[in-house]
Structure 1
Amino acid sequence: MATPLTLTCALQGYVAHVARRQARRGTFRCNETHCFYVPAPAYERSSRALLLATGSLLLCWTPFLSVSLYEGLSLVVVPVWLSRGSMFLVLSSCAVSPGVTCLTQSRYRVTARVIMSRLLQLCSRPSSASVPDSANQISTTRTSLPGALNAAS
């Protein structure tokens, strides 16, 4: 269990290290039409975001790994609250990672703001089941019909 977490964190740490080293130099990025200079702060921000994501991953998974290894190696059952708390942290890591990305990356913040505003608009609208539609209502009043049917009544 600890091996994939360690490898992921080591790889993310190495990428952040390379980004910080690149930030000290600055660099040129090229596409099909031209090359442009990418300033150091862009690499600095991305390496900070990656380190923050790595730290949150470690913070969420370390208690669960510790409890699991302790229970497995010592054959002692830990208190229920400790086991459930560590499991809650593991499950919350799925929500923490996108949250960290939205907080640290400006383009994700804009997209998240648009999505949240649309969700709030959908939630604030009254549902179609609670508001009757006049075209779908069945009339209970008697109306006079033109022609022969009206003569029969």
Structure 2
Amino acid sequence: MPVAQVYAALMVVSSLCSVCGNVVLLLVVLLNKELRTETWALTLSFCLSDLALGLSIIPFGVHNSLFRTQGYPSDGLLCQGSAFLYLLLQLASIHSLTWATIDKFTEICFALSYSTICTSRRTRLVLVLVWLYSLINAALPLLGFGRYSYSSTRFLCAPSFQPDYRGFSLLFIVVGIIVPILIMCSMYAYIVYIVRKQVRRGTFVCNDQHCFYVPANNYFRSSLVMVATVVCLLVCWLPYITTCFYETFSGHDPPAAASAVATWLILLTSALNPWINSMTQT
């Protein structure tokens, strides 16, 4: 089956890149004390989530696409457990990344009060809430609100988006995915707006002895990174959101190729997130 073979090849590359990228980022942060800020636990959270996706869910999809295209019994322990883990890690990753973006936004736009706003205690509280939210949402289908089933077009056990489970589908898609993506895109767009203002009026950075003019190219490069981040988020998530809405409101499975590509793109984010985080650092 060509779709399954291409899907497997793409997922293998994604798994390798996810594991390598997140391990490197974790080692860099752990081996450099100056990088361990009050909020570095946010980076640790989405790194561990993405690493777990790269080590468990992505290889599971590769195996299914090559050897188990007929899938598993939807009510089986393996299918239910893998779907629970998939949803838990997916939500924890995107929401941890969202709060890491909020942290960067606060550092740039509220520089004078940043140290009092973003503290280690508040960071720990945010992480507890993020993982608690992810855990509750992942447990809902196990409690009867929503359903986990094997998807032959995604080659994974995942939430079912059939009309019978529309309430859970909308909760997951809108609150779990669309809202954090809109928050991140809005913040990056506002940062780009600030960058353009700085370029127009010019900026000087001073120390005890001299003042240096900051070239416009510095701001231009920063804005390119932000724009690329927004484009990357939209390209990776919009196809998945579209296929989920299509399945929810039509009651039909999306085309196999479209569903497979959309699933691969959202799992690819586990490989891209460490690079996004690194490029948006000062």
Alignment correspondent of 1:48: 224
Name the structure where helix makes up a greater proportion of residues. Answer: 2
Alignment correspondent of 1:146: none
Give SS of 1:77's match: coil
Compute the displacement of 1:22 (Å). Answer: 0.9
Compute the displacement of 1:74 (Å). Answer: 2.3
Alignment correspondent of 1:8: 184
Compute the displacement of 1:33 (Å). Answer: 5.8
Letter in 2 for 1:16: V
C-alpha distance in structure 2 between counterparts of 1:81 and 1:32, whole Å: 61
> 1:23–1:42: 8 Å Cα contact kept in structure 2?
no
C-alpha distance in structure 2 between counterparts of 1:57 and 1:31, whole Å: 37
C-alpha distance in structure 1 between counterparts of 2:184 and 2:228, whole Å: 14
2:237 to 47, 57, 61: 61
Task: Output one character per residue of 1:124-151: Cα deviation in whole Å (capped at 9) or x when no partner.
Answer: xxxxxxxxxxxxxxxxxxxxxxxxxxxx
User: CA 1:97 to 1:21, structure 2 compared with 1: closer, same or farther past 3 Å?
Assistant: farther
Alignment correspondent of 2:198: 22
CA RMSD, 1 decimal: 2.8
Q: After the TM superposition, list the runs of 4 or more consecutive aligned residues in structure 1 that deviate by more than 3 angstroms.
A: 30-35, 96-102
Higher RCO structure, 1 or 2 (CA under 8 Å, sep 6+):
2
Question: Percent identity among equivalent residues?
Answer: 35
Compute the displacement of 1:96 (Å). Answer: 3.2
> 1:29–1:37: 8 Å Cα contact kept in structure 2?
yes
TM-score using structure 2 length:
0.33
C-alpha distance in structure 1 between counterparts of 2:243 and 2:179, whole Å: 16
Task: Output one character per residue of 1:74-108: Cα deviation in whole Å (capped at 9) or x when no partner.
Answer: 22221333222101011112323555677x79x9x
Q: Which runs of 5+ in 1 are unaligned?
A: 108-153
Alignment correspondent of 1:126: none
Matches within 5 A, 1:107-146: none
C-alpha distance in structure 2 between counterparts of 1:88 and 1:37, whole Å: 44
Q: Which runs of 5+ in 2 are unaligned?
A: 1-176
Which structure has the larger Rg? Answer: 1
Letter in 1 for 2:189: G
Compute the displacement of 1:29 (Å). Answer: 2.1
TM-score using structure 1 length:
0.58
Task: Output one character per residue of 1:61-80: Cα deviation in whole Å (capped at 9) or x when no partner.
Answer: 11011111211222222133
Compute the displacement of 1:13 (Å). Answer: 1.0
